[in-house]
Amino acid sequence: MSQLLRTRPATTEAMLAVFDDRATLRHALAFEAELARAEAAEGLIGAPEAEAIADLCATIVIEPAALAAEAALAGTLAIPLVARLRKALPEAAAKALHKGATSQDVADVVLVRQIREGHALLSTDLARVLAALDALARRHAARPAIGRTLLQDALPIGFGLRIAHWQAGVADAAGRLLREVETGAVLQFGGAAGTRAGLAGRGAPVAARLAAALHLADAAPWQARRGAVAGIAAALAIVIGALGKMARDISLLAQNGVGEAREPAVPGRGGSSAMAHKRNPTGCQIALSACQRAPGLVAGILAGLPAEEERGLGGWQAEGPAIADLFLLAAGAADAMAGVAEGLEIDEAAIARNLEAAGLGVDIGESAALVEALLDTGRRKPSPG
């Protein structure tokens, strides 16, 4: 059953594809194929068996709905998947399949590969946001505007300073996510109890070959240490929150009584089914809705950190769906706010009118210099792509 009417309004088609059933199966089959090749290279299984496994993984057609029902019964995707592969292989290759691996190895490798693909995709839209905000902040760095604290008129600021803070927040969050993904989305290969048993002492070279083939960093088994996944989840939520800060401010600036900035006019977006005169900040709505959902998803992952002994029960199994949802929400927010930033309409007359009405003068302090400092710091941060 499709759930696109629920999921698509909050995300992008491209990010949905990263986490869909086809992608999940592709990564799981890649794990089994490359594990067999790595073990054959280390003399643990025969080369003909490895190629039979790899060929099958490249050509087998599996109906996701049927496999999902079997996985629900088994408790993990790997059990019915491996059973199907073994049934289709000659006896020697069937015995060689999945040697030294366990179900969690498959699940974690699928997850970290999707994390890396999702991050690369998300980075593109974050870069769009950063570039557009950089240009806007510089253009309006010295434009006097009323600053507001606790939702009340405060003192004048450079209008570009507010935008520079949006940009700096997104840049900080993008850099944090990059670091978490680079250090945390790495190979998991430990076998039944995380000892790499049954590999004749060749577990480390097998892991190194497997990591290289899957384009992952090699690592010691981490199946019971879930801090890296939690760190990625938290960093995703911070990205969403940084985009939400920008969305919140723009939606406030777009109010009829303020009118200092508004989303670009896009045919079919921002209207009302009942009130033709309305121009709703729908892009901001997408980001702010994501902000409502993200903290609960992260909390669920944090709750799984005290994993039981060598493999936890219920904690890590909850991570995959939550991480997928966080990436979907982040992608929707980033895509929406990239479009908003690139076409943001700034009403200079309204800014001046509101400032004059406040009667607080035009002294914007060191706003222009602070804009430069914030944007220069952002440029020195690691690229989000």
Q: What are the residue numbers of the active site?
A: 272, 311
Say which residues have a Cβ less than 8 Å from residue 379's Cβ, sequence separation at least 6: none
* Of the candidates 212, 338, 327, the residue with the CA atom closest to the CA atom of residue 284: 338
Q: What are φ and ψ of residue 345, in 5° steps?
A: -95, 120
30 Cα distance to chain centroid: 22
